[in-house]
């Protein structure tokens, strides 16, 4: 028999001992074990190892569980700390409102000056400011409160993929 076939059946033996083998593959493994001495030896050795593991008796440090759980919580806390909180998003949104209103007010006040410098009508300056400053600013202003929701949705989608 080919060495690759033995490796394949040894993987099947490992799956069988772990309880994660399908019924068809288990039947194929039984048929193979009936005629293959090396694979029978591999199964026997694994069974002895598994039986020996149950016979060990040793004391575990009582703090071990707490340390293991703490080490598991630490990365989760670091990820949570890296994500901005609601208060930060609220401050960013307020800053966006102030900048939108303030910038729009200043630009509209200096519209006459801009119109005279570029020799255009004041209405054209206002339309330009509306199209290129106020509307995009309002769009960004509306987007800021949605960012935490979009961020959470992306994180949840990523977790489902993994």
Closest CA relative to residue 50, chosen from 20, 16, 27, 26:
16
- Amino acid 156: pLDDT: 59
- Is the pLDDT reported for residue 122 higher than 60? yes
Whole-prediction pTM? 0.35
Instruction: Yes or no: say if 17 and 46 are a contact pair by the CB < 8 Å rule.
Output: yes
- At 142-154, the pLDDT tens digits run 787 777 777 766 5
Which of 8 and 151 is assigned the larger pLDDT?
Answer: 8
- At 62-110, the pLDDT tens digits run 676 677 667 666 665 565 565 566 777 778 778 878 877 877 787 778 8
Instruction: Yes or no: say if 33 and 56 are a contact pair by the CB < 8 Å rule.
Output: no
The residues, ordered by sequence, that sit 6+ positions from 16 with a Cβ below 8 Å of its Cβ are 26, 29
- Amino acid 81: pLDDT: 60
């Amino acid at each position: 028999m080919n060495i690759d076939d033995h490796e394949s059946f040894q993987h099947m033996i490992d799956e069988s001992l772990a309880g994660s083998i399908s019924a068809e593959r288990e039947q194929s493994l039984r048929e193979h074990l009936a005629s293959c001495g090396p694979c029978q030896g591999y199964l026997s050795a694994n069974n002895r190892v598994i039986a020996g593991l149950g016979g060990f008796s040793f004391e575990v440090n009582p703090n071990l569980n707490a340390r293991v759980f703490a080490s598991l919580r630490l990365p989760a806390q670091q990820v949570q700390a890296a994500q901005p909180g609601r208060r930060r998003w609220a401050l960013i949104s307020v800053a966006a409102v102030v900048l939108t209103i303030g910038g729009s007010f200043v630009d509209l006040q200096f519209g006459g000056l801009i119109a005279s410098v570029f020799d255009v009508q004041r209405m054209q300056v206002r339309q330009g400011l509306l199209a290129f400053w106020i509307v995009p600013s309002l769009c960004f202003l509306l987007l800021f409160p949605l960012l935490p929701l979009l961020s959470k949705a992306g994180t949840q989608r990523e977790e489902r993929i993994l």
